[in-house]
Structure 1
Amino acid sequence: MKNVHSGIDHLDFLLVIEAVLAHRTITRAAQALDVSQSALSHTLTRLRERLGDPLFVRVGGEMQPTPLVARLADPIGRSLRIIRDEVLSAPEFDPATTTRVYNICVGEVGAFVIVPRVVRLLRERAPHARVVVLDLARHEIGSALEDGRLDVVIGYYPELKTSIYQQLLFTRTFVGIVRDDNPHIGQRLTLRQLRSVSIVRSPGTNAINRWLDSKLSGADRADIVMEMPYVMALAPILAETDWMGIVTEELVPAFRKLAPLRPVDLPTDLPRISVRQHWHRRFKDDVPNRFIRQVVYDAINKP
């Protein structure tokens, strides 16, 4: 027998064999498959050539299976039942009823600023869906998107490879933040003035940290008085000192609710950071994934 895999559509193979077995004539099998009789005959001819077997032999007014088809009848039936019951009949995605759990990766700032807005909109559009927020190491994110452990990642990740798709959500700028009655820092700082300011720095603001290191180095390096791994912890620390933190502008309202703080304008050549949501190309057309991406985008960009 010839190679079964050489240029034949396996689903066509299954459907044609099933239809002729069930109806025993080319005419009735073609009607059941909603194709022309000539099209079915052509497909059957191709199958005979590929498999090196007549498959069906006319006996009286019916097409009777050869021993090869008789042996294949049961596994063909099982295969098609699986396809119909578990693949073709899979329920469509319905936001109103889905219980899907979405895994979203954000950093600390994103969890504070973005996630509440996403959750609020998700509850409106998909009330039974849930969000799990993860904070993976940067080197794990690409593989987690690829294998489906993460649905989307939100933040600044320029290192992600080309197999990751992305969408711009907004652009961040940075500001200084100090206590309201700080006597040493005014409303605006020049680069020269920045050299004399005591700064509390957080790894959560990597872009501004790199900028500080490049602009203020050597004898003129920035006066970093504390390294604080938790961005939100800056608020009470700054409220009790004459130090300054540097945060993204969208955090200022939240910080002012936590402590009596005010923003400070910084030099105009500060970096601007593009915050994007990222997903793997495997899930580009996946309906549930497209849904959560739209929720994220609308939560950020629509009032």
Structure 2
Amino acid sequence: MNLRSMDLNLLLIFDAVYAERSISKAAVRLNLSQPAVSNALGRLRETIGDQLFFREGNSMLPTTRAKSLRDPIRQALDLIERGFRTDQAFDFAQSNRRFVIAVGDYGEAVIIPRIIDWITEAAPGIHIHVRSAPSAQLKQELREGNVDFAMDYFTLEEPGFHNKCVLTDNLVSLSRVGHPGIGEQLSLATYLALSHVVIEPRHEMLPMIDLALAKRGLKRNIVLTVPHFLSMPVLVQSSNLICTLPRRMAFLYSDHFRLRSYELPLKTPNFPAYLIWHESVASDPGHIWLRNHLIALCQSL
């Protein structure tokens, strides 16, 4: 059957006649005239190639073919009705929906583990797919729904994008325990003299710590640049390199890799982390549910 040649309103007629077992009652239910329902039923019979209903006394009883069509048609109508509802609650406990979140190393280390702990308890059927750091195609992927959320230090300042600051963080430095060049505290002179491993910048702008140093006419001794934060504690653990990274991430790494953390020897401003999504999913019940919980979870860290 070619659905393009079929009037899908006939499915409403079928559903009403099946439920009411009466053409006149179906007409009242649909706010149509009885002849209009009769004519529509005739067209549907011709399209399906089956009588669909036969009269017995005062009732219209379904044929075997009509009985086989009842559940698929009812399910299709339910799905369409749910799609047009804006106030439908999201049944997260029963859902097996898949959400895609694009995050960098910070979000993957600090935020995603807490999300997974909570999802496993609250909504075990939901699948979270974590994408790597936001790419050049992120805006298009968010618009098209291929990515549900992004977490980043930078906003997407274009019409249609929502940017919510969900937390702020600051910087600390890590070294191996027993580093021969560092005492109880990390002085600015020592910080400048040591060899640094740094993250490869995603933008032309200098990292926050280097901007703060540049304002004083100073510069770090950078000997190694790596693409991921996770490389840094591994390298620091087995060398005299030091690294500077976000505090929450640094504390996770210092515990796991048995590293020592130090306050920076100069002040730097806190930096924000944003949850980003597109207007096209702003009113989606499932998206709203996960979005609100993500925001609350991040703000509780």
Matched, 1:88 2:81: yes
CA spacing shift, 1:135–1:277, aligned 2, 3 Å: same
CA spacing shift, 1:159–1:211, aligned 2, 3 Å: farther
Shift of the alpha carbon at 1:260?
3.2
* 1:251 alignment partner in structure 2: 249
* 1:52 alignment partner in structure 2: none
Task: Tell me if structure 1 keeps the 8 A contact 2:175–2:260.
Answer: yes
* 1:233 alignment partner in structure 2: 231
- Alignment counterpart, residue 278 of structure 1, candidates 268, 276, 287: 276
Shift of the alpha carbon at 1:224?
0.5
Q: TM-score, normalised by structure 2?
A: 0.69
Task: State the Cα deviation string for residues 163-211 of structure 1 (Å, max 9, x = none).
Answer: 1112222101011111222232342433x55432321111268777254
Aligned amino acid, residue 133 of structure 1: V
Equivalent residue pairs, number: 258
Q: Distance in 2 between matches of 1:281 and 1:198?
A: 45
Q: What fraction of aligned residue pairs are identical, expressed as a percent?
A: 19
Q: TM-score, normalised by structure 1?
A: 0.69
Shift of the alpha carbon at 1:133?
0.6
> Mind listing any 5+ residue stretches in structure 2 that lack a counterpart?
1-8, 49-72
> Mind listing any 5+ residue stretches in structure 1 that lack a counterpart?
1-13, 41-55, 57-61
Task: Tell me if structure 1 keeps the 8 A contact 2:102–2:130.
Answer: yes
Task: State the Cα deviation string for residues 132-153 of structure 1 (Å, max 9, x = none).
Answer: 1101543211111111111111
Task: Tell me if structure 1 keeps the 8 A contact 2:104–2:134.
Answer: no
CA spacing shift, 1:155–1:73, aligned 2, 3 Å: same
Q: Distance in 1 between matches of 2:149 and 2:111?
A: 13
* 1:166 alignment partner in structure 2: 163
Q: Distance in 1 between matches of 2:113 and 2:36?
A: 66
Shift of the alpha carbon at 1:63?
5.7
Task: State the Cα deviation string for residues 99-138 of structure 1 (Å, max 9, x = none).
Answer: 1111111112211111110011111111111111101543
Task: Tell me if structure 2 keeps the 8 A contact 1:142–1:160.
Answer: no
Aligned-residue RMSD, C-alpha:
4.0
Shift of the alpha carbon at 1:239?
2.2
Shift of the alpha carbon at 1:292?
1.6
Q: Distance in 2 between matches of 1:208 and 1:118?
A: 31
